[in-house]
Amino acid sequence: MSPRTEEQLIKHKAEKRKVITQAALKLFSEEGFQSTSISKIAKEAGVSKGLIYTYFESKEELLRFLILDTIDEMFGIAEVSLGINPTDESFEKMISDYFDWVQINRAFLQIYFGILMQPSVMKLFEKEIMAKAYNVFERMSVYFKNKGFEDPLSETRFFISILDGIYMNYIMDSENYPLAKAKSRILTMYLK
C-alpha cells in the first residue's frame, strides 16, 4: 500500500514465512508431512492457499525451509557450547542446553526424526544435514580425543546415538519417559 524500504520488505517477508512455517510445524508434527495439505496449513496460518506460493515455491520448499532453518539452531548448540577448546564444563553445558532445547522443540524433532527415516524425503536435505552433522562430529571428536579416547569419532557417534535415542523415546512417550534421569545418567557416564 505504502512504499517501504527494502529492509522493511525483507523483514515483512521473513515474518510471513515465520507465520506459515509455524503453522506447518504444528500440523506436520501432528499428521506428518504427506498427510498435511497446503489448505490446512493456509487455514491454520490464517492466510490464503495462494499466498503460501508467494513465499515458498512448493510444499517441499516449505519443508526444506522449516527444517534447514531450525537445524542450524540445533547443530549450532554444539558449536557454540563447545567452542574451539572443549572442556568438561563446556561439554556439560552442551548436554544441558540440548536437553532444554529438546523439550521446547518436540514438534520439530518429531518431524526431523520422521524425515531421517524416509530416504525419498531425506534426499531433499541429505547434503545439508550430512555436512552439518559431520561438522559437529569433528568438533565433538576434539573433546573425546582430549579425554583420551582411542577412537574419538566412534565415541562421538556413540554419544550422539545415545542423545538421539533418548530424544526419540522422550518424544514418543513424553509423559512417562524419565528424561531427567536420562540426563543425569549420561552426565555421570562421561563426567564421572
Partner DNA sequence: CATGAATGAGAGTTCATTCAT
Partner DNA sequence: CATGAATGAACTCTCATTCAT
Which of 85, 104, 117, 127 is in the footprint of a copy of itself by CB under 8 A? 117
Q: Please, are residues 71 and 132 in contact by the beta-carbon 8 Å criterion?
A: yes
Q: Can you list the pairs that 60-64 forms with residues at least 24 positions away whose Cβ atoms lie under 8 Å?
A: 60/124, 62/20, 62/21, 62/24, 63/24, 63/28, 63/33, 63/115, 63/121, 63/124, 64/124, 64/125
The whole-angstrom separation of Cα 25 and Cα 63 is 9
Spatial CA neighbour of 186 closest among 79, 101, 95: 95
Q: Which does 154 bind (CB under 5 to 8 A by kind): a copy of itself, DNA, none?
A: a copy of itself
Which of 26, 44, 53, 116 is in the footprint of DNA by CB under 7 A? 53
Which residues, 124 to 143, sit near a copy of itself by CB under 8 A?
A: 130
Say whether residue 37 binds a copy of itself (CB under 8 A).
no
Nearer to a copy of itself, 65 or 113 (CB): 113
Cβ 24 to DNA shortest distance, Å: 10
Which residues in this chain contact a copy of itself in the complex, by CB under 8 A?
29-32, 34-35, 110-111, 113-114, 116-122, 130, 151, 153-155, 157-158, 160-166, 168-169, 171-173, 177-178, 181-182, 185, 189
